[in-house]
Amino acid sequence: MASQQPPRGTQRKRQRRNQERGKGTVHNRRLGAGKRNRLGRTILLGTVAVAFALFWLARELELDRDELLGYLATSVLFVAVLIACAVLGAGLLWLIKRLR
């Protein structure tokens, strides 16, 4: 009896599709790594720019620098708490998926 293999054209299409998927996956991984590096750099540069702007503003408007630093510290603390909540939530979701 003849073997039950698919026609050659179908097999070639599958091979091409699998090759394309593989290439896209590797490309996307590399692209994602570059985006993460740019995002971190952008956040760092933005933070430095805001810090310099606050010091400049305090000097130009003759504001109390310690008070502005207190506001900055409060803002940083607030953002850190929000980040911690997000990480905790993601960890809980990961744990729930892992236990299923």
Q: How confident is the model at residue 83 (pLDDT cuts 50, 70, 90)?
A: very high
- Count of the separate structural domains present in the chain: 2
Write the pLDDT tens digit of every residue in 40-60: 899 999 989 988 887 888 889
Say yes or no to pLDDT of 85 above 80: yes
Write the pLDDT tens digit of every residue in 56-72: 888 898 888 788 788 88
Pair (23, 58) in one structural domain = yes
Pair (37, 69) in one structural domain = no
Rounded Cα distance between 3 and 50, Å, is: 71
Q: How confident is the model at residue 34 (pLDDT cuts 50, 70, 90)?
A: low
Pair (36, 72) in one structural domain = no
| CB 51 within 8 Å of CB 43 | no
Pair (93, 54) in one structural domain = no
- What is the residue range of 85's domain? 64-100
